């Protein structure tokens, strides 16, 4: 019984997160300016992290949590460096 | 470490399922806001839904499930929660400042008077010395 | 104490994180203590000032207030996003004069303001002590200035200054 509840909840959660990732990608394509794309990419990284967390719960394997931490670190570094670039790189498009 | 979802007792499965659905649903709402809102400064609020209660709900659910299934406290997921809470302000602050800087450079009409560039006290002193 | 371990909080945090990720075994404990103490010495070599907390009692209270505010503003922002643009909503910038100067207190204030959906920290001028934030649902700017001043700033000053 509890397995049915959990599996269906995980399915709903993963579907919602997949849709969320699609919406982030949509905003990334849409723009309109560079900072909007970077913001969307940051949100995409967060959603990917949560998606991996959901995978970890579904398979019952904690190795996914380490992977999701790695994605979190990568997303953080990528967003910070891109924001820094927007501030001091080629600023005016 | 691996667990089997069938080992989770029913009293733990129901709150965990609720946390999962709420967490993922709030993340979805946040990204929906990212697509629907009109200006960048409005959109910068949207992902915080995913990073505050979205991540919090998923981490809570995973902690409940793993603790109940392995019959000992498991809380190393909380590292993910702490990590997200500490890093999101840094990224959003940097992005916000970069956008403000770019808008100020371009004299963007989106920017109201309150957010326009105000000279720092040191700048004013220099200007006074120049004149 | 400060000569052997310059930053006890940082070292303890690193040890705890290491043990959570690697599992609790005597070998990991020894290794994590070596890494924790080594890292705190490395930070001391950079010349950062150590963090001094004056009143520990105020920390759980601040934590509770922030958790409550996060839940409340999550619901508020989710409601606005769902209702779309039908309701008239004005978002805007506010400049807030801050009394608090301690760098750690400012860092924590920035985490609080950014984690609550609805407020975003944009710019802080240390020369004038003024903070520029963007508020998602701005009704009365005066109310926000007072809210941040009384709700967070006073507690942060109690903790750090």
CA distances from B124 to B128, B131, C63, C126 (A): 6, 11, 40, 15
ipTM of the prediction greater than 0.85, yes or no: no
| Domain extent for A59 | 2-88
Distance between CA atoms of residues C114 and A28, nearest Å: 22
Mean pLDDT over all residues of chain B? Answer: 78
Give pLDDT tens digits for C103-153: 778 888 888 888 888 888 888 877 777 888 888 877 777 887 888 888 888
For residue A91, the model assigns a pLDDT of 45
Comparing A23-27, C25-29, C54-58, C91-95, the range with the smallest average pLDDT is C54-58
Contact call for B87 and A76, based on CB within 8 A: yes
Q: Please report which confidence band the pLDDT of residue A3 belongs to, taking 50, 70 and 90 as the band edges.
A: confident
With H, G, I as helix, E, B as strand and everything else as coil, classify residue B124.
helix
Task: List chains adjacent to chain A, taking adjacency as at least 3 C-beta pairs closer than 8 Å.
Answer: B
Q: Which of A23-32, C42-51, C56-65, C142-151 has the lowest mean pLDDT?
A: C42-51
Residue A93: inside a domain: no
CATH number at residue A42: 1.10.287
First and final CA of chain C: distance in angstroms? 22
CA–CA min distance B114, chain C (Å): 7
Do the chains contact at B4 and A54, CB–CB below 8 Å?
Answer: no
pLDDT values of chain B reduced to their tens digit, one per residue, 131 residues: 677 777 777 788 888 889 999 999 989 988 888 888 878 888 888 888 888 888 888 888 888 888 888 777 777 788 888 888 888 888 888 888 888 888 877 776 666 666 666 555 555 455 555 54
B122 with C127: CB under 8 angstroms?
yes
* Interface B:C, Cβ pairs < 8 A: 107
Total domains, chain B:
1
Whether B4 maps to a domain, the answer reads: no
Q: Is B112 on the interface with C (CB under 8 A)?
A: yes
What average pLDDT is seen over chain C?
Answer: 80
**More confident call, B121 vs A4:** A4
Evaluate if residue C9 carries a pLDDT over 90: no
B82 touches chain A (CB under 8 A): no
Residue C76: is its pLDDT beyond 80?
Answer: yes
Range of the domain at B16: 9-130
Residue written as token pair 């690193």: C14
Using N-to-C axis directions, what is the helix angle for A34-59 and B10-36, rounded to 10°?
170
Residue A29 domain flag: yes
For residue B56, the tally of other CB atoms under 10 A from its CB is: 22
Domain boundaries, chain C: 8-46, 58-160
In our burial notation (b when 16+ CB lie closer than 10 A, e otherwise), range C52-69 reads: eeeeeebeeebeeebeeb
Residue whose tokens read 């326009």: B116
**A65/B28 Cβ within 8 A:** no
Cβ contact, residue pair C117, B45, below 8 Å: yes
Instruction: Provide the edge-to-edge strand list for the sheet that holds C130-135.
Output: C92-97, C130-135, C119-125
Nearest by CB: A17 against B24, B88, B97:
B24
> In the prediction, which pLDDT does B131 show?
46
Given a cut of 80, whether residue A25 has pLDDT beyond it is yes
What is the count of structural domains for chain A?
Answer: 1
At CB < 8 A and 24+ separation, what contacts does C58-63 make?
Answer: C58/C155, C58/C158, C58/C159, C59/C159, C61/C155, C62/C152, C62/C155, C62/C156, C62/C159
Interface test with A, best of B1, B3, B5 (most A CBs within 10 A): B5
- Please state the pTM of the whole predicted model: 0.83
Subunits with 3+ C-beta pairs closer than 8 A to C: B
């Amino acid at each position: 019984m509890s397995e049915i509840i959990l599996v269906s909840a995980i399915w709903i959660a993963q579907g919602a997160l997949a849709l969320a990732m699609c919406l982030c990608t949509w905003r990334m394509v849409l723009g309109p300016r560079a900072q909007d794309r970077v913001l969307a990419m940051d949100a995409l990284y967060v959603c990917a992290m949560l998606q991996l967390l959901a995978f970890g719960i579904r398979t019952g394997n904690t190795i996914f949590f380490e992977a999701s931490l790695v994605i979190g670190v990568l997303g953080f570094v990528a967003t910070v460096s891109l924001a820094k670039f927007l501030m001091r790189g080629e600023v005016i498009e | 470490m691996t667990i089997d979802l069938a080992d989770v007792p029913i009293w733990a499965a129901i709150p965990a399922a609720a946390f999962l659905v709420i967490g993922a649903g709030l993340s979805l709402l946040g990204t929906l806001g990212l697509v629907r809102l009109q200006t960048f400064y409005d959109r910068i609020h949207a992902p915080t839904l995913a990073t505050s209660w979205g991540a919090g709900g998923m981490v809570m659910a995973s902690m409940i499930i793993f603790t109940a299934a392995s019959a000992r406290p498991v809380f190393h997921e909380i590292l993910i929660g702490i990590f997200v809470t500490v890093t999101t302000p840094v990224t959003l602050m940097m992005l916000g400042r970069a956008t403000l800087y770019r808008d100020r450079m371009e004299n963007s009409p989106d920017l109201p008077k309150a957010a326009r560039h105000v000279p720092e006290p040191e700048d004013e002193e220099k200007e006074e010395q120049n004149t | 104490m400060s000569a052997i371990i310059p930053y006890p909080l940082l070292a303890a945090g690193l040890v705890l994180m290491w043990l959570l990720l690697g599992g609790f075994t005597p070998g990991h404990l020894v290794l994590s203590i070596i890494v924790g103490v080594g890292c705190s010495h490395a930070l001391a070599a950079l010349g950062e000032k150590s963090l001094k907390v004056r009143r520990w009692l105020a920390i759980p209270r601040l934590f509770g207030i922030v958790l409550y505010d996060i839940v409340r503003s999550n619901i508020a922002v989710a409601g606005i996003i769902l209702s779309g643009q039908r309701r008239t909503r004005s978002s805007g910038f506010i400049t807030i004069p801050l009394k608090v100067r301690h760098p750690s207190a400012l860092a924590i204030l920035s985490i609080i303001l950014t984690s609550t959906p609805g407020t975003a920290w944009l710019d802080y001028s240390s020369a004038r002590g003024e903070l520029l934030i963007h508020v998602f649902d701005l009704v009365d700017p005066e109310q926000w200035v007072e809210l941040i001043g009384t709700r967070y700033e006073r507690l942060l000053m109690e903790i750090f200054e």
